Amino acid sequence: MKVERVISRVSLRRTIESGTEEQRRAVLEIIAAVRARGDEALKSYTEKFDGVRLDSLRVTDEEIETAYQHVSEEALRIIREAAENIRDYHERQKKESWITAKEDGTMLGQKITPLDAVGLYVPGGTAAYPSSVLMNVIPAQVAGVKRIVITSPPNKNGTLPAGVLVAANELGVKEIYKVGGAQAIAALAYGTETIRPVDKIFGPGNIYVALAKREVFGQVAIDMIAGPSEIVVLADETANANEIAADLLSQAEHDERASAILVTPSMKLALAVASEVEKQLETLPRKAIAASALKNYGAIYVTETLAEAVEVVNELAPEHLEVMTAEPMQLLGQIRHAGAIFLGRFSSEPVGDYFAGPNHVLPTNGTARFSSGLSVDEFVKKSSIIFYSEPALKRNVEKIAAFARLEGLEAHARAVEERFKK
């Protein structure tokens, strides 16, 4: 990894893939075909892109039972315990409806209502992560969403990964479909004979999935257009170089466009980490992917002071931030921009990915400056409640009417004045 002194502004921003015009046209064609031909189009595209012809799109009880045979008892216990931790954390995020009354009889409030139906897209292949099923489904359940749908591209044998099916079944999700790509997003947005439409779509995918989510936005809501994973480690001279190197590699192995950065005021630590990364990289199974990520999006920034290092971190606004300093809690109040903050040497980033409880679906590409990780809030909507009493309206009618006329809306003014005509 390259080690450099910070002499100018730094950024994590990478170009968000918007696709080529050819890819966008292909996505529009797929969406139109699914809207016109429904299930038949889904099966046709599944055969074309995934190499399997399906008789039925829906996962059967038999397939779920078979999946359990491929998941060890230990793995099942871990999934269940992780689910308990995630549920406990998200239960604390729940908000209640509220209403307040004034002396004049006016009542104002807010009604919290869960979405009716949500869809979770689970990528296929090596990116089929049971942890993502837990992280998306559990907050939806805590919010009170009644219908949760999972779609995922099938393997060559026409099944879904065992871990995904087991995780979904452990949470009680029964509506699971073997369909992926842009066609799955179209089905979730517009519906087919088999798949009823949802209100909001969650989950990452390839460029075709990302483009499809953009195209259907407005018909349905979407969570975000997810970017490559990233980690920033903020460390001082007390940190362990081997631990930092391991944590940087934990994100670099995700994707060739993943970013892994160390920010430190210690040149000695910086050089030690650079050496340790090269050493650990040699034995990493996903060495080629991690090496490419580090070459293009990895860096070690050396600052003059720890305070300057904190400011660099806030400029980067990372998805994952590890604070590995002598007194990490003392820096918490100074951290303004980060998707998730891991404090201390025993809070390695994978703790949050799998087990601690907070959600691992987080803002990337510097968007932690203005957005938050996935939470229960993403699965509810809020309605204002207004009950104005006669005395309250009578006291304010002239002001409301005047405001309406200020904007040139006479009918608005007359609407409130009508209540008090003799």
Is 417 annotated in the active site?
Answer: no
- Annotated binding residue at 360? no
- Give buried/exposed letters for 374-401 (b at 16+ CB in 10 A, else e): bbbebbbeeeeeeebeeebeeeebeebb
Kindly report the number of other CB atoms within 10 A of residue 240's CB atom. Answer: 15
Cα angle at 317 between 252 and 131, to 5 degrees?
50
Runs of H (alpha helix) within 92-224: 130-143, 162-170, 181-190, 207-216
How many Cβ atoms are within 10 Å of 4's Cβ, its own excluded?
12
396 is in an annotated binding site: no
Phi-psi region of 13 (alpha: psi -120 to 50; beta: other; left: phi over 0): beta
Annotated ligand binding at 206? The verdict is: yes
Half-sphere exposure of 399 (CA within 13 A, CB side): 5
Cα 97 versus chain centre, distance = 25
Distance CA 385, CA 112 (A): 10
> Is 319 marked active-site?
yes
Tokens of 145: 């969403």
d(CA 17, CA 173): 32
Instruction: Name the catalytic one among 230, 243, 319, 349.
Output: 319
| 301 marked as part of a ligand binding site | no
CA nearest to 161, candidates 126, 201, 205: 126
Annotated active-site residue in 90, 170, 320, 378: 320
Work out the number of other CB atoms within 10 angstroms of the CB of residue 161.
22
Binding residues: 121, 183, 206, 229, 251, 254, 320, 353, 407, 412
- Enzyme catalytic residues: 319-320
Binding residues for substrate: 229, 251, 254, 320, 353, 407, 412
Binding residues for NAD(+): 121, 183, 206
